[in-house]
Structure formats: structure tokens, C-alpha cells
Structure 1
Amino acid sequence: MSQASASESTDELAKLVMPDAPQDLKKGSPIGLMKYLGPGLIMASASIGSGEIFFASRGGAVFGYVLLWTFVAAAILKGIAVYSGTRYITITGESPFARFGQVIPGPKNWFPVLLGILAVVSFPSWAGGFASFLGQWSVWTFGFGNPQIWASVWILLAFATLFFAGYSYVEKFQTGVVLLLIVFVFVAVIVANPNYFEVLRGLIPTIPAEHAPWVVEKYPEVAARPISLEVISYLGAIGGGTYDYIGYVGMYNEKKWGMLGAPNLEEINAKLIKLKAGERFPIDESEQNTENVRAWAKAPLTDTLISFVAVLIFSAAFMILGNVILGADGTQEIPNDRQIMQFQAQFFDQISPALVYFYQLAVWAAFFGSMQASGTMMYAHTFYQCFAPAVRWVRETNFFNVRLLVALIYSGGGLILVWTGLSFTTLVSFGALVGGVLSIGLWALAMLYTDSKFLPKKFQMATGTQILLGIAGVVLTGMGVVAILQFFNII
């Protein structure tokens, strides 16, 4: 069998040989590894500027730097869960969600379907939240109209892009604007000149016992929310959730890294799915193949690590600005349901009043771009990864039909929620708690089990990584359950 070949065309699946890894990965030089940034940056750009603009700024204004550690925790806990999935698909060429359906105890495919249901339940919540933001943005920017009507228009426009191939030019424009926003955010932090010692103290885990007096006096509705629910909402919103990450893992099929680059990948997957219970991934364990596996594993590590570091830095910058400009020693203004994005314009006004107009354009690009990309592409990958193992129609139909179905669920549900009058915080918090905390914890636990049960010992994650993954699973699942019970006032 040649090094490039991954299997033999027999009924018995032969020991698989990983395609030869490029020298950049074998050497592991930082510059060479930078070539392996791809899906992670797409995922990061989809989340940067949405949850961060509201939740990070709000957290800084309400609590100062005290909760900065939660953003670090979110990046680590979510990052390790996502890496476990991207690493698995790179090494095996198989979706981890397909394997969940085979190895998780219980009825076949119940777990990926559960993750899919949790993700689908979150879709309308985020559509309604993004649209509500854009509705308020439109009235603020253009000076007229009803926010709900504007929100409906933006949802319908995002849905319409499903049928326009030329929309890629708009996406590139939006990405460029968001990247420019990141640059100006860093400039704004330098101009704001925060107390960097206090910033570092914010990295020490601490939960505030109560809200500051000015918050209770000026914003009683904010003070009325349990602090633990507020904190967990930040964890959920920052950096995205399973609704993003499952699609992100699915996008690795386009990169052809590792076993995904095998010329007979479809044949491999067809035979892998027929493995009997208890059988492990049939991979060649020779020294040369082991070297290739370890080299290829650096690609998803680099991609995932850089994307989450980018989200963490951007979130921290908005929290710092929220404290300095909007917090106790600033204007004492909290981003809230009536003024979701207006107060944050002051971050840029301190540099130049003209940048307020740029900020208005940038937040539109961030939120409309997120709504469009999620509703017409990213979430379709999420839907496919979760339901394809169990539902024949999803496996066999044209992928555009899956995109259309998901866009209808996303947009239709979002329209309904917009007209219910539910607040932005309520809409986004629900999606963040279900998809951004609870289901990521379940994913982490399932991935830990799958890694230990299916991969040969020498190709499993390192012990330290497994421990972190287990911690992520327990912490996020537990926090998700508690927060959802608090959300519905059960506890």
C-alpha cells in the first residue's frame, strides 16, 4: 500500500495509512504552521463583533475587570472541546458526530440527534436576537421606522442571499470591515489607557457578591438578573456555541487535511460505519505513520488555537473599554435592551468623532454578516453533521435542500420571535445557554468517551488534554443546567 493510499478496496477494512504530512507540519515552525489557518478564522469572524460587542461591553460596564477571567475560561473550555472534534476528523477522516451515533451507549444515533435538536432550538433565538439588534441599529442610524419592521426586513434580506451566488463579494466586504473594527478597538484600548494592574487582577477567578450601587439605582432590570445567570450568559455568548462549532468541524471536509485528503475517503467512511461495537479505528501504527498522524494533528491545533485566542483578545478589549468608558468611573451607562449598541460608539468617539460612522457600518457588517452566514451556510453544516447519521433524506438530498430547510427554520423562527416582543437579552441568552454552554459540555464528554473507546491508545489525546476536556464537559454541562433552570425561574 502506498503512503498516499488510505485503504484497500476489499470488504475487510485494511490498516489505514495517513497521507504524507507536508514538511511545514513535520517541522512545526510557527511561520509554517500559519498556513493552516482556515475554518477557524471563518468561525472567529462570524462570532467576533456579535456577542463581544454587547456582552463583553456590558460585562465591563457592570462588573469592571472582575469577570475578565470568565472570557479566558470560555476560550479554554470551548477551545479544548472544539479541538477534540477537529483533531478527530483530521486523524480519522470521519465526522465525530457519525461516530457518536455508534459508540455512545443507548439507541443508535440518539446523541448526535440530541445535539442537533439543541442546536436547532437555538437557531431562531439567534436569528431573532441578531435581527432585533439590526432593527434597533436601523432606527438609530437612519432616524426613522419601527424596529420590528426593520428587523423583519433584515431577516428577509439575509434569507434572500441564499439564492444569490454573487453574495460572496458582500461577504468579503463585511469581513474586511470587521477586521478593520478589530484594529480600531485596539487603538481605542491604548487611547483609553486602562489600569493594566487591575486588568491583570481580573484574571483571578472571582464572582461578585452584588451589583454596584449605581447599577441597582439606574438599571434595576439588570440588577434583578441573578449574577450567576449573567456570568454564564457571558460564557455562552462569547466565542459562539455548538450551532457554530458543529458546522465548523464539518467545514474541515473542504480543507483535505490528514485522512480527509485520502483519495478513497467515501469508501473509508462507508466501511468505518460498519465496524462492530468495540472495534477500534484500524490505522497503521508504524513509526512512519505515527509521525504523519502527529504532524497532521498540528493543523487543527493551530487553526483552533489561533481562532480562540483572537476571540479572547477581542472580547477582553471590549470588556476593558466597557469598564473605562461606560463603568463606575465613566459615564455609568450599561448596554441594554433599549440601547444595545449605542453607548459603545463612545469607544471610537474618543479617537475621532468621524469614527462613530465607521462604528455604525462595522456593527452592521458584524451582525448582518453573522446572521447571513449562520442562517444560509454554517448552520446547514451543523444540521447535516447531526442528522445525516440518522436521517436518510439528509444524507441523500442535494445539500442546497438542507440549506433551504435550515434557512426557513432560522428565518421563520426568527421572524416569529421578533414579533413576540421578546428582548434582545432574552433571545440571545437562551441561545447562549442552550447552544453555548450546555450542549458544548455534552459534546466534550462525548468526545472524551469516543476518543478513549475508538482510537488506538497511541493516537488518543494526551493525558493533559483529556483531563482538560473532562473538566470542560463537567463544568459546562453543570453550569448549563443551572443557568437554564434559573432562566425559567425554576430555581
Structure 2
Amino acid sequence: MAKDVDERASQSTEYPLGVSRPPLAVADLPEPEEVFKVRKLGVRQIIQFVIGPSLIALGISVGSGEWLLGPGAIGEFGFVGVGWVITVSAILQTFYNVECARYVTATGEVPIVGFGRVPPGWKLWVPFSLIAFYFAFIFGGWAAGAGQGLFALITGRVHRPDEIEWVRLLAIGLLLVVFLITALARKVSRTLELANWVIVGTLLAVLIVVCVLIVPWSTWWEGVRGLVTPAAPPEGITATTLGALAGFTALASGLNWYAMNHYRDKGYGMGSKVGFLSGMRGKQEEIRSVGVTFPDTPENTTRWRRWYKLLMIDLWLVFFCGAMIGMLLPTILMAHVVTTSGDVPTTANVPTFTAEHLGADYGQGMFYLMLTVGVLVLFSTQLGIFEALVRNFTDAAHATSPRLRRRLEGDPRKFYYPYMLVVLVVIAAALHLALPVELVQISANMSNFGALMFPFALMYLNSRLPKAARPRPWHYVILVLNVLFFGFFFVNFAYEFITGGPLVSF
């Protein structure tokens, strides 16, 4: 059957893929130089023009798993038996990101729209995907954590329990800052990339300097050894706690697809033929409601291999390496602080724990420096997640509703910005549900829920791409491992949520 589709597509202007959605249009893949408007792609051009979507994903991941959950777990339980979960999670999630980006690059359709092609069709998969995504991230734990750090930065001290409302108001204020950043952008994705270049680059540079100056090399070695040493989890830790760490190491396990839209807006492959979301200062070009793919010709096969190599650079060199470094540095710093202070972090004070203790040891300057790093880290997460909540709903509604497209008159910004204000109000209410880290733990385990089904949806979609873009058999094996690894942790979370006690503890 796939062979018949390939033969028809090579001779047609349409490419049928899946169910309930119109066939993809067909056009030749562009050369990367054509898309990025350079004469030749060298190292400098790749850094300047090609790398970007992975930075947005990295900026999101660093603020939840790397800054909150990783240091919190390792501060309480140590490296050995916890670190390997971080490494396995990062490897599996990067492979999963590659498969999400493969579909976007080959078709120009973002995942939330592509899932609508999976049987029984978009009326199930699009709403279900949005519900799973929103249920994981609408609670706003990342925003609450940023507000907590900002309160301490402004007042010079950690907030008291009766001041929690001020923390929430600061978190809401930071959400308004995100709205202004996107509104003032010419191209939303490019602005997010540049913001994360600055934020992620600054925080990694500061963390490297601080860790080199104050963390003993023995702790560095323990951190590295913990990441690569398979060992039984430490006594007292539950599978739910490990699942939160696994879910938010290197992004959001089964829900990583929500950040892959930026490959379309960046212009990777066929994304360059579909359109992108402009900011208020830019000129909005019409975004196609149906994607475009390419015929199987020798020329397109060669071009696909070039695009796939660029994906590998963006995801493995930047995203994976950045996530591992971003996890190592805060965790060894946390381990050092726990050792020297004799104290351990709690869910209530993880966002400010390191700054508070380092300030006591090294003075107010260190206190403010680490608070600034914490606020930057959590704000980068806030920036990416808040925008993604709005972007994915906008993309889904625009692609599936002809009536909405007619009302928007080719300009999805008419929906994007008003809807962003609606989401802001909802998150502002959700911030009052629990402590910041508790909210993030809920989000992380709900991300593991997504790993139970979305890898299978990707297998269906990617196996029907043009022959040159299809995954190799071992890629499907990796996707099944994603299901088993993250699914195990979600089952434990669900059991504990229902019964009040962990299914598996160590």
C-alpha cells in the first residue's frame, strides 16, 4: 500500500497521508541555503541562522527539570541511583524530538495538526492532544517558581508564608512580560530564539564560573559518575518522585511535540513553504492550513539528507548536550550546598534554597547573583511554555476550522493575542492551587502520560512519509522504549494520586 502511495505521489500534486485531513500538497524540497538566504552553510552560518528551535526547547527544560526537580531530588537523595534516570531520560527524549521534528521538516505541519491524520481522525486526536498538553502545563508551576525567585530578588529575603500572594502577583506580572515580548516581535519564533540565546548562555556561563570556583572536584566527579552509573534508586525515594525528574529532564517526555512547532516557523525543510507566526511588528503571511511534502526524486533525497543532518546538529549537539550540562551544574551546586549547610531542600524552598545558603556563606552579592540566575532560568521556561500553550491551540484551531480561517482573513494573530490574554487569566487562577514545585511535579508526571500514546501516533505518521524521510526500523524501537520508560512512571503517579500511597518505593 505504501508503495502505491509513493508511486502516485511522485506523479501527482497531492500526497495522501492518514485520515480525516486533506492530502498534502507536493513540491520540491528547498536547499538550506535558499531558506536561510546564505551563499554557503558553514559553521558560522549554522550557528547564526540554523540553530534555534532547540534553544527554545532547552530554555523550557532548564527551568523545570534542571533547576527545580533535579537539584531537589539529588539534594535529598544523592547522585547514585538518581543520575542514571536523568541520562536515560535525556537520550530517549532527544530521539523522540528527532521523530517529531522529522514530521515537521518533511511536511511543514506542526505535530498538533499532524496528529489529526491518525485514525480515527482529528475530531479525537486534536482535542485530546490539547487536553493532555493543557492539563500538564496550565497549572503554572514554572511561573510560580519564577515569582518566588523574583520576590526574593526584590526584597533581599525569602518570602514568608503570609506573603505567598505577592509571589503569585509577581508571577502574573512576568506572564504579562511574555505577552509584551511576543507582541513586540517581528517573528515570534526568532524573538524566542534570541531571548534564549541570551538567557541560556548567561546562566550557563555564570553556573560554570560559580561551580568551578566553589564546588570541589570530588563533587564534580560524583555528579558525572552518578549520570553514567546504573544503580538501584536510593532508599526512601518513590517512583513518582523519579517520574517527575524523568518527565522534565530535557523537556517534557511524551509531550515534547508541543515545542517542535518552531521548526516550521524556522523554515526547516517543507516548513519554509507553509508560513510562520509573526509578531505585531511584523507582516503576517498566510499560514497554510494543510502541509506540503516532496516527491521521491534523487535530488529531493539528497536535500533531505542535508536537512536531517541539520536536525541532528540542532537536537543532539545543542539540545542534548545543553540539557546534560544544564542538569549537571545545578545539581552539583545543590549537592555542595547540602553538604556544607547540613540542610536539605523541600518542595517549598527549592527555587531559592541555593541562593539562600550561598548568600550566607559568601555574602549578599552571591545571594543576589544566584537569585538572578534562578529567575532567568525559570523565566525562560515561563516564556516558552506560556507561548506554546497559545501557539498550539492557535495552530490547531486554524488548521481544523474553515470558519475561523475566514474570520481571521489570513491573519492568525487576531486569534493568537486575545487568546494569550485568556490563558494568562486561567494560569493566574491556577497559581493558587499549590506550591510551585508541587505544581511542576504534577506537570512532569502528566507529561509522562503523553508518552503512552504519542510515540505510536508518530510511528503511524512517519512510516507514511516520502520514502527518503521515513525512519529506520531501530527508530521505532527507541519510540517503544519511550513508551515503556515514561509510561512506567506515569502508572506509579496515577496509582499514588488515586490511593494516596506509592505503588513502587525503594
For the Cα contact (< 8 Å) 1:139–1:147, is it kept in 2? no
Moved more, 439-448 or 389-398: 389-398
Q: Which sections of structure 1, spanning at least 5 residues, go unmatched?
A: 1-5, 212-225, 274-280
Q: Deviations over 1:331-383 (max 9, x none)?
A: 232222332333212458777752321222222233234324432x2221222
Alignment match, 1:207? 232
> Structure 2 residue aligned with 1:417, among 430, 433, 446?
430
Alignment match, 1:190? 212
Q: Residues of 1 paired with 2:133 and 2:96: CA distance?
A: 16
Give 1:418 deviation, angstroms: 3.2
Q: Residues of 1 paired with 2:274 and 2:135: CA distance?
A: 37
1:301 pairs with 2:312: yes
Q: Which sections of structure 2, spanning at least 5 residues, go unmatched?
A: 1-10, 16-21, 277-284
SS at match of 2:201: helix
| One-letter amino acid matched to 1:426 | E
| One-letter amino acid matched to 2:217 | P
For the Cα contact (< 8 Å) 2:53–2:193, is it kept in 1? no
> Structure 1 residue aligned with 2:340, among 327, 330, 345?
330
For the Cα contact (< 8 Å) 2:55–2:197, is it kept in 1? no
Q: Residues of 2 paired with 1:264 and 1:30: CA distance?
A: 26
Alignment match, 1:222? none
CA shift in 2, pair 1:180/1:261, >3 Å: closer
Q: Residues of 2 paired with 1:133 and 1:411: CA distance?
A: 15
Give 1:400 deviation, angstroms: 3.3
- TM-score between the two structures when normalised by the length of structure 2: 0.77
Give 1:33 deviation, angstroms: 4.6
Moved more, 437-446 or 132-141: 132-141
CA shift in 2, pair 1:320/1:303, >3 Å: same
Q: Deviations over 1:163-206 (max 9, x none)?
A: 57458999967863553221121223323123255334312232
Q: Deviations over 1:428-462 (max 9, x none)?
A: 11111113x2214422221122212x124443112
- TM-score between the two structures when normalised by the length of structure 1: 0.79
Q: Residues of 2 paired with 1:14 and 1:184: CA distance?
A: 47
| One-letter amino acid matched to 2:165 | Q
For the Cα contact (< 8 Å) 1:178–1:366, is it kept in 2? yes
Q: Residues of 2 paired with 1:185 and 1:29: CA distance?
A: 30
SS at match of 2:341: coil
For the Cα contact (< 8 Å) 2:274–2:288, is it kept in 1? no
1:429 pairs with 2:441: yes
Alignment match, 1:474? 484
| One-letter amino acid matched to 1:428 | V
What pairs with 1:65-464 in structure 2 (closer than 5 Å)?
A: 65-66=79-80, 67-102=82-117, 104-125=118-139, 127-131=140-144, 133-135=146-148, 137-139=150-152, 141-142=154-155, 143=157, 146-159=163-176, 162=179, 165-166=183-184, 176-191=198-213, 192-195=215-218, 196-202=220-226, 203-211=228-236, 227-241=238-252, 245-262=256-273, 283-305=294-316, 306-326=318-338, 329-345=339-355, 346=357, 354-375=365-386, 377-392=387-402, 395=405, 397=408, 398-404=411-417, 406-408=419-421, 410-420=423-433, 422-435=434-447, 437-452=448-463, 454-464=464-474
Q: Residues of 1 paired with 2:31 and 2:225: CA distance?
A: 46
Q: Residues of 2 paired with 1:19 and 1:172: CA distance?
A: 25
CA shift in 2, pair 1:441/1:37, >3 Å: farther
CA shift in 2, pair 1:333/1:448, >3 Å: farther
CA shift in 2, pair 1:387/1:76, >3 Å: farther
Q: Residues of 2 paired with 1:14 and 1:140: CA distance?
A: 52
Q: Deviations over 1:250-272 (max 9, x none)?
A: 22222222122248999996676
Give 1:290 deviation, angstroms: 0.9
For the Cα contact (< 8 Å) 1:161–1:372, is it kept in 2? yes
Give 1:393 deviation, angstroms: 5.7
What is the RMSD computed on CA atoms of the aligned residues? Answer: 3.9
Give 1:29 deviation, angstroms: 7.1
SS at match of 1:98: helix
Q: Residues of 2 paired with 1:310 and 1:253: CA distance?
A: 22
Identity %: 19
Q: Residues of 1 paired with 2:100 and 2:488: CA distance?
A: 21
CA shift in 2, pair 1:106/1:134, >3 Å: same
Give 1:132 deviation, angstroms: 5.1
Give 1:240 deviation, angstroms: 2.5
**Aligned positions, number:** 456
Give 1:321 deviation, angstroms: 1.9
Q: Residues of 1 paired with 2:415 and 2:258: CA distance?
A: 13
